[in-house]
């Protein structure tokens, strides 16, 4: 492949997975909701996009409705989330994701079963070059990424964001201080799922096809690595993590063609991912970027009054 | 006589075979500092938990301003005006002292999903007002210079103080405090009680569990004594020390 196409393709992937990473960061990084089923919502957005676009809806409606359907599933997941401990919740979400994937895989009538189905690109430019097509995709993906990033930043730098962190730290104390934790968890899971659904739609319209094999649990773990590497509870960290993991993934992919290894080289990137996550957890458990404090006028106010001796703000 | 604020009627809370709270009756009227004492494990914290909705009683009724609160969620009980400070502080360790304070503030305009996104100008103004209030309270308990420290960096006594300060940010009608003076130096402990008394003059009501009886008895206007899940005596501090049941609770029956 033409190297410049390879790079542009990488840029698209960073954008799409940046949205995934931002959404898990809202759920896990800020609110402490360990969502081990990110791929479910990615899948729902993807299949919604495929089916809606086949039914003749314009691409923006396919994206928006796909995100909304994913949000409804996010709400449904929030119901057990209120009753179950984090570890049990993880198992529930993980398995329900596999169930949904196996349904679309075995039920041929939904979207071609195991073979999948083709998906029309969001913005078709008849006769345009491949470069032009990919540049249009970059535009579309990064507009969506920008919207998700802005919402994340506004939400987390507000009293609402303070409550998210409080729920992460001690949900019982937050509840005793008047915060309806059920409501907050449901809202965050709905928003996070909508963002993942949006990413799913963008993904399949870019690749022009959808099939169950694209939604293996490894996708969830990849997004987790992005968040843990970049730094949980930091929106820039989520983007940094997405970029690093995608670059790393490509690098490992290229390397495996050049190396001759005694083992099956196609697993190289998974092995390296495992090593990477171990290194992060051992040497930089807080991630590359540290958690950003809640930024509202409260901190400026203290400064203007000359309140603090120590100043830990960055 | 002042109006009844909190009525506890025959409340029982069992944990398997342990009768932690076993038929407690109380009547707390508006204003003043009300004390609750009793030996370790007599059920004081458990009673508080049932009042706060953190645990639901097995039987009996809890009424706040005449409204039955037995099956309400803690955040609904907060909305009614009942707030607490935990015996073992439950702060948000990686949040700053300031953020710990601001989380608790009542009536925030920016803690709703859409408001936080779209009404920024409105709640930003409120943030400034709440910050001023937080600074005043932190000044009093000598934590102002730690305002940007995280709660996890505070010492044990400082955490206890922040736990109380945070509850005050919630403008409670009734504030339950579980051993507010524990682990705090006696001078500051007394100052805190003094402040609570000032606040009680302006209409706040306090219900306080405290093992440091000398401080509690100096400020409280009414004392309940619990033993083995039951209230065994009640009265004003001068009278309660003359009650045989008060001594029996601590020393056991002869
Ligand atoms: N969640 C629980 N499960 C089982 N037993 C409990 C639970 N909570 C409290 N208990 C028991 O109930 C009894 C009363 O406990 P509680 O914490 O109310 O005592 P307390 O009066 O607050 O004591 P202290 O002065 O030491 O704080 C104790 O015997 C305790 O072991
Ligand atoms: Mg106790």
Question: Are A35 and A267 spatial neighbours (Cβ–Cβ below 8 Å)?
Answer: no
- Classify domain B1-81+172-254 by CATH number: 3.40.50.300
Distances (CA, A) of A69 to A61, A75, A104, A224: 12, 10, 16, 23
Question: Are B228 and B22 spatial neighbours (Cβ–Cβ below 8 Å)?
Answer: yes
Token pair for B222: 């009414």
Minimal-distance CA residue of chain B relative to A312: B148
Chosen for mutation from A32, A159, A293 (greatest number of chain B CBs closer than 10 Å) is A159
Cβ–Cβ below 8 Å for B111 and A177: no
Q: Which residues contact B99 (CB under 8 A, 6 or more apart)?
A: A162, A165, A293, A294, B92
- Which residue is it, tokens 């529930």? A92
| pLDDT over threshold 90, residue A123 | no
Give the Cα separation of A140 and A138 in Å (integer). 6
Q: Which residue in B1, B10, B6, B25 sits closest to B66, CA to CA?
A: B6
The answer, for A282 touching chain B at a CB cutoff of 8 Å, is no
Token pair for B36: 């609750």
Token pair for B13: 């809370």
Give the Cα separation of A76 and B7 in Å (integer). 39
Give the Cα separation of A175 and B245 in Å (integer). 37
Q: Is the ipTM of this complex over 0.85?
A: yes
Q: How many CB atoms lie within 10 A of CB A99?
A: 10
Each residue of A23-48: pLDDT tens digit? Answer: 999 999 999 988 888 999 999 999 99
Minimal-distance CA residue of chain A relative to B108: A159
DSSP characters over A1-31: --HHHHHHHHHHHHHHHHHHHHHHIIIIIIT
Q: Which residue in A221, A220, A239 sits closest to A230, CA to CA?
A: A239
Q: Hey, which residues 163-202 in chain A have their CB within 8 Å of chain B?
A: 163, 165-166, 169-170, 172-181, 187
Q: Which residues contact B201 (CB under 8 A, 6 or more apart)?
A: none
Terminal Cα distance for chain B, rounded: 38
Token pair for A16: 């799409």
Give the Cα separation of B209 and B87 in Å (integer). 9
Nearest by CB to A166, which of B92, B130, B131? Answer: B92
3-state secondary structure B134-178: HHHHHHHCCCHHHCCCEHHHCCHHHHHHHHHHHHHHCCCCEEEEE
Question: For chain A, what is the mean pLDDT?
Answer: 85
User: Angle CA(B139)–CA(B144)–CA(B145) in degrees, nearest 5?
Assistant: 140
Each residue of A179-222: pLDDT tens digit? Answer: 999 999 999 999 999 999 999 999 999 998 888 888 888 888 88
Each residue of B117-172: pLDDT tens digit? Answer: 999 888 999 999 999 999 999 988 889 999 999 999 998 889 999 999 999 999 99
Percent of chain A with pLDDT over 70: 89
Nearest by CB to B103, which of A162, A180, A309? Answer: A162
Sketch the domain layout of chain A as residue ranges.
3-215
Terminal Cα distance for chain A, rounded: 43
| pLDDT over threshold 50, residue A100 | yes
Q: Per-residue confidence at B251, pLDDT binned at 50, 70, 90?
A: confident
Q: Which residue in B72, B65, B75, B58 sits closest to B24, CA to CA?
A: B58
Q: Which residues of B touch A293 (CB under 8 A)?
A: 96, 99
Give the Cα separation of A82 and A76 in Å (integer). 11
| pLDDT over threshold 80, residue A176 | yes
What's residue B150's pLDDT?
93
Give the Cα separation of B14 and A106 in Å (integer). 51
Give the Cα separation of A148 and A152 in Å (integer). 6
Question: Are A38 and A23 spatial neighbours (Cβ–Cβ below 8 Å)?
Answer: yes
Give the Cα separation of A70 and B17 in Å (integer). 46
Element (H, E) at A224: helix A217-230
Range(s) of chain B covered by CATH 3.40.50.300: 1-81+172-254
Interval between CA B42 and ligand 1 midpoint (Å): 7
Chosen for mutation from B48, B51, B105, B131 (greatest number of chain A CBs closer than 10 Å) is B131
Element (H, E) at B225: strand B222-227
Question: Are B94 and A144 spatial neighbours (Cβ–Cβ below 8 Å)?
Answer: no
Give the Cα separation of A290 and A45 in Å (integer). 31
What's residue A313's pLDDT?
44
Strand, coil or helix: what is B72?
coil
Cβ–Cβ below 8 Å for A170 and B73: no
Question: Are B60 and B11 spatial neighbours (Cβ–Cβ below 8 Å)?
Answer: yes
Give the Cα separation of A206 and A147 in Å (integer). 19
Q: Hey, which residues 127-156 in chain A have their CB within 8 Å of chain B?
A: 151, 154-155
Mean pLDDT of A249-261: 74
State how far residue B174 is from chain A, nearest Cα, in angstroms. 13
Cβ–Cβ below 8 Å for B135 and A174: no
What's residue A108's pLDDT?
65
Question: Are B193 and B181 spatial neighbours (Cβ–Cβ below 8 Å)?
Answer: yes
Cβ–Cβ below 8 Å for A177 and B83: yes
pTM over 0.95, yes/no: no
Q: Between the ranges A101-110, A125-134, B209-218, where is the mean pLDDT highest?
A: B209-218
Q: Which residues of A touch B79 (CB under 8 A)?
A: 178
Give the Cα separation of A29 and A289 in Å (integer). 12
| pLDDT over threshold 70, residue B1 | no
Question: Are B92 and B79 spatial neighbours (Cβ–Cβ below 8 Å)?
Answer: no
């Amino acid at each position: 492949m033409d190297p410049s196409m390879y790079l542009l393709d990488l840029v698209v992937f960073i954008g799409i997975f940046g949205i995934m990473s931002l959404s898990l960061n809202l759920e896990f990084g800020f609110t402490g909701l360990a969502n081990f089923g990110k791929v479910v919502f990615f899948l729902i957005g993807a299949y919604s996009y495929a089916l809606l676009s086949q039914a003749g809806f314009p691409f923006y409606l396919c994206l928006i409705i796909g995100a909304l359907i994913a949000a409804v599933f996010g709400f449904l997941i929030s119901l057990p989330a209120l009753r179950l401990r984090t570890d049990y919740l993880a198992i529930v979400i993980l398995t329900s994701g596999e169930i949904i994937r196996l349904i679309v895989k075995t039920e041929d009538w939904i979207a071609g079963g195991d073979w999948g189905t083709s998906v029309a690109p969001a913005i078709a430019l008849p006769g345009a070059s491949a470069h032009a097509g990919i540049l249009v995709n970059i535009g579309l993906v990064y507009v969506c990424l920008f919207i998700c990033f802005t919402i994340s930043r506004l939400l987390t730098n507000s009293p609402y964001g303070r409550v998210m962190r409080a729920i992460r730290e001690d949900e019982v104390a937050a509840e005793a201080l008047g915060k309806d934790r059920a409501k907050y968890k449901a809202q965050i899971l709905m928003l996070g799922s909508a963002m993942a659904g949006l990413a799913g739609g963008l993904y399949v319209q870019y690749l022009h096809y959808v099939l169950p094999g694209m939604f293996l649990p490894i996708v969830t773990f990849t997004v987790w690595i992005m968040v843990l590497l970049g730094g949980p509870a930091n929106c820039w960290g989520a983007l940094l993590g997405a970029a690093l993991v995608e670059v790393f993934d490509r690098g490992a992919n290229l390397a495996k063609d050049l190396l001759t290894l005694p083992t099956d080289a196609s697993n190289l990137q998974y092995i390296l991912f495992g090593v990477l996550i171990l290194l992060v957890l051992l040497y930089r458990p807080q991630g590359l970027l540290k958690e950003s404090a809640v930024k509202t006028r409260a901190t400026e106010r203290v400064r203007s009054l000359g309140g603090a001796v120590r100043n830990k703000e960055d | 006589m002042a109006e009844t604020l909190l009525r506890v009627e025959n409340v029982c809370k069992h944990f398997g075979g342990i009768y932690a709270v076993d038929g407690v009756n109380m009547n707390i009227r508006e204003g003043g500092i009300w004390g609750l004492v009793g030996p370790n494990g007599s059920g004081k914290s458990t009673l508080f938990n049932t009042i706060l909705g953190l645990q639901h009683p097995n039987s009996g009724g809890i009424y706040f301003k005449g409204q039955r609160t037995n099956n309400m969620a803690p955040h609904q009980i907060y909305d009614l005006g009942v707030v607490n400070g935990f015996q073992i502080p439950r702060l948000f360790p990686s949040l700053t002292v300031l953020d710990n304070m601001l989380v608790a503030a009542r009536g925030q305009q920016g803690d709703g999903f859409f408001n936080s996104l779209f009404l920024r100008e409105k709640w930003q103004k409120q943030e400034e007002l709440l910050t001023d209030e937080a600074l005043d309270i932190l000044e009093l308990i000598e934590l102002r210079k730690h305002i940007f420290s995280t709660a996890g960096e505070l010492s044990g006594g400082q955490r206890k103080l922040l736990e109380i300060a945070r509850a005050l940010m919630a403008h409670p009608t009734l504030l339950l405090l579980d051993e507010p003076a524990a682990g705090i130096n006696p001078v500051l402990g007394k100052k805190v009680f003094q402040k609570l008394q000032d606040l009680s003059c302006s209409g706040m009501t306090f219900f306080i569990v405290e093992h440091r009886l000398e401080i509690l008895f100096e400020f409280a206007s009414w004392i309940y004594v619990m033993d083995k899940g039951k209230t065994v005596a009640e009265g004003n501090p001068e009278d309660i020390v003359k009650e045989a049941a008060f001594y029996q609770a601590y020393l056991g029956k002869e």
